[in-house]
Amino acid sequence: MSILHILETAFRGTIEEQDDTVIWTVHAMRKAGQEGSVVLQGNIVGHAVRGQDATGLQFGDHPQTNPVDLAGDMQKLMAAGVPIYVVEGDAADRGIAGADLIAGVQLIDRAGVAGLADSHDLVWHW
């Protein structure tokens, strides 16, 4: 049983949660033995961009000591055996070139999402 996770909602709650909650869930499910793959489409292609920096937030005397590291979390997810695909056209539309993305993500075209859907047992569109 394998799940294709299609993600498109970007930078939602990431500062408070200190991660992307869906990437976190996919990783937690992987640790519990669940097979799956991830597609980033729409604005969330930005989660795979190099050079993100969410450090420096501080409210009064309370700094955020563990700021979100979206790219790092995705690299850990890939290291755990979950491939991550990025819809190349969605990145290009947003001025993001392949060279701007973290190592390891795989570029696909729009029609490739349907092919991935067919090759997985379940498709979860987050």
Partner 1 sequence: MADQKTLTFVLMDAPYENARTTTALRLMHIAAKRGHEINVFAYEGAVYLPFALQKAHPNPVHGKDAEEEDHVLPREWVAEVMAEAERNGGKVDWINCGFCVDERGAHEAIEGVRRGGPPNLVAWVGESDNVLVIPTK
Partner 2 sequence: MADYMLIASRDPFSTNDVPTYYALARDLKERGNTVTLFLVQNGVLPARPSAASDLLTSLSELGITVLADEFSLRERGIPANGLAPGVAAAPLDLVVDHLESGAKTLWN
Q: How far is the CB of 42 from partner 2 (least distance, A)?
A: 5
Give the nearer residue to partner 2 in terms of CB position, either 32 or 111. 111
If one asks whether residue 113 binds partner 1 (CB under 8 A), the answer comes out as: no
Bridge partners, 6 (sequence order): 39, 125
For partner 2, the binding residue among 20, 26, 40, 41 (CB under 8 A) is: 41
| Tokens of residue 30, six digits | 């992987």
Structure tokens at 57: 């937030």
Distances (CA, A) of 109 to 2, 71, 85, 94: 21, 21, 10, 15
d(C-alpha 57, C-alpha 111), whole Å: 40
> Is 68 strand, coil or helix?
coil
Rank residues 5 and 102 by Cβ distance to partner 1 and give the closer one. Answer: 5
Using the rule CB under 8 A, which residue among 42, 54, 69, 107 binds partner 2? 42
Q: Is residue 9 a contact point for partner 1 (CB under 8 A)?
A: yes
Rounded (5°) CA angle 51-20-12: 95
Q: Which is nearer to partner 1, 33 or 60 (CB)?
A: 33
Smaller CB separation from partner 2, 11 or 124 = 124
CB of 107 to partner 1, least distance (A): 24
